[in-house]
């Protein structure tokens, strides 16, 4: 039996970028923009709305982090000879998960690359467990608490097909979509 675990601190750390983004807007407004006397009233109002949005984002993210840190449960994946058991301390509609290994058809990791208006490339990664009955389970790292790639690599070692795809939508999202399989 293989067991993969994650601590509460590690899972809570997923929220740090949102927490910092949420506190940046109010800080910039109250320490930089609000004291500026040469801004028109409408611009000051726009920045105030952004600061309020940032404060709300900060509060929601802080609530999520405190919820994770205060939970008594644990994030654990157990892979036995015949079952995949994925436990999370904060239950949601995806987890906990208990699937017989014989029911898993394949594991898929899809990396979708898109280009923003500023020519930067954004990569979004999606993990899915495809079942023999046609169903599938989508897994996000934030709700899983444990990096799905680690779990999928372990399942691959047990003989379950693990396919990684790249969906490149940087050139033309409607017409030139290429899927490249990487093994």
114-154 pLDDT, tens per residue? 777 777 777 788 899 999 998 888 888 777 788 888 899 99
Question: What's the predicted TM-score (pTM) here?
Answer: 0.67
Query: Which range marks the domain in which residue 125 is found?
Result: 101-182
Residue 77 lies in a domain: no
Domains in the chain, number: 2
Same domain membership, residue 55 and residue 121: no
Nearest to 63 by CA among 107, 95, 21, 19: 19
Q: What is the pLDDT of residues 89-125, one digit of tens each?
A: 877 787 788 999 999 999 998 888 777 777 777 778 8
- DSSP summary character for residue 15: G
Q: Are residues 58 and 121 in the same domain?
A: no
**Together in a domain, 178 and 106:** yes
Position 91 in a domain: no
**Residue 15 domain flag:** yes
Same domain for 36 and 107, yes or no, is no
């Amino acid at each position: 039996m293989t067991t993969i675990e994650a601590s509460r601190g590690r899972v809570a750390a997923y929220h740090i970028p949102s927490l910092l983004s949420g506190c940046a807007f109010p800080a910039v407004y109250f320490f930089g923009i609000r004291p500026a006397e040469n801004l028109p009233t409408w611009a000051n109002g726009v920045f105030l709305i952004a600061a309020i949005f940032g404060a709300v984002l900060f509060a929601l993210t802080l609530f999520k982090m405190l919820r994770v840190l205060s939970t008594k449960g644990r994030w654990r994946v157990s892979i036995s000879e015949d079952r995949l058991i994925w436990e999370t301390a904060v239950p949601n509609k995806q987890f906990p998960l208990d699937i017989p290994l014989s029911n898993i058809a394949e594991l898929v990791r899809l990396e979708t690359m898109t280009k923003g208006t500023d020519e930067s490339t954004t990569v979004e990664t999606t993990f899915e467990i495809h079942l023999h009955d046609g169903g599938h389970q989508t897994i996000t790292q934030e709700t899983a608490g444990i990096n799905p790639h680690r779990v999928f690599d372990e399942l691959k070692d047990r003989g379950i097909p693990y396919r990684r795809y790249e969906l490149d939508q940087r050139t033309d999202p409607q017409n030139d979509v290429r899927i490249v399989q990487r093994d």
